[in-house]
Amino acid sequence: MSVFRNAGHLFRLAAVFVVGTVAFLVIRAAVVPRSFGEYGHYRGAAISEIASLPLHFAGHQTCETCHTDIAKMKSAGMHAHVNCEACHGPLEKHVKDPSIDPGKPDAAVLCVRCHAASAARPKWFPQVDPAQHSGGIACTTCHNPHNPVIAAGGSK
């Protein structure tokens, strides 16, 4: 015991650390979500929470079940692999209730979003300088959005 004589204050300091550590562990046990680490370094329950979020996109397969004509036309053209909702926007609401009119996309801003010439786009991707190419006329006057190549009979 004599070794520890006059070392009382050190035990007090150690006690502060022990209390701090215990408080930390208690808080940690209380606030770290139960499912943390279930699958990885995140909250396992997050997966089911995200899965139950409301849907916004229906997916092109769903559209194609009703709009068979357009699906057929599109699959024959250069836009075959462009998703319906990439142009029309999220339409899950319309799918649930087709009487909700989704309206038509505005070709004036839509097409240039992908086709305006830009050095950042891959070279193989078809690009035009809109001012030069159409001089302000809406793209859909000449191109059919669902089958855009005019020579392929896609004109409107």
Partner 1 sequence: MPGVEGYMYPNEVSLYWSVLIVLYPYITGLVAGAFILASLERIFHVEAVKPTYRLALLTALAFLLVAPLPLQLHLGHPERSYEMYLTPHRTSAMAMFGFVYLWYLMAVLVVEIWLDFRADIVALSQTTTGWRRLMYRILTLGSTDVSERALHIDERVGWFVTLIGIPSAFLLHGYVGFIFGSIKANPWWSSPLMPVVFIFSAMVSGIAAVMLVYMAMMRLRREPIDMRCVDKIAQYMMYIFVIDFSLEMLDLVHRIYEADESFRSLNFMVHTKLWFSQVILQICIGTIVPISLIALVQIVKFSEKWRKAIYVVSGSLTLIGVLAMRWNVVIGGQLFSKSFLGYTTYKIALVTREGLLVSIGLMILPLVILAVLVKILPPWPEKSAVSLPAPSVGD
Q: What is the binding site for ligand HEC (CB under 6 A)?
A: 58, 60, 62-67, 70-71, 74, 78-79, 82, 84-88, 91, 94-95, 98, 101-102, 104-105, 107, 110-115, 125-126, 128, 130, 133-134, 137, 139-143, 145-146, 148-151
Site string for partner 1, 38-57 (x = CB under 8 A): ---x----------------
Measure the CA–CA gap between 71 and 121, rounded to whole angstroms. Answer: 27
Site string for partner 1, 13-42 (x = CB under 8 A): x--xx------x--xx--xx---xx---x-
CB burial readout 48-61, b (16+ within 10 A) else e: eeeeeeeeeebebe
Asked if residues 92 and 57 have their Cβ atoms less than 8 Å apart, the reply is yes
**Cβ neighbour number for residue 147 with a 10 Å cutoff:** 22
Binding test (CB under 8 A) with partner 1, winner from 1, 8, 99, 103: 8
Here the tokens at position 134 are 């159409």
User: Cβ closer to ligand HEC: 76 or 112?
Assistant: 112
What DSSP string runs through 117-141?
--TTS-TTS--B-HHHHHTTS-GGG
Sites of contact with partner 1 (CB under 8 A): 5-10, 12-13, 16-17, 24, 27-28, 31-32, 36-37, 41, 120
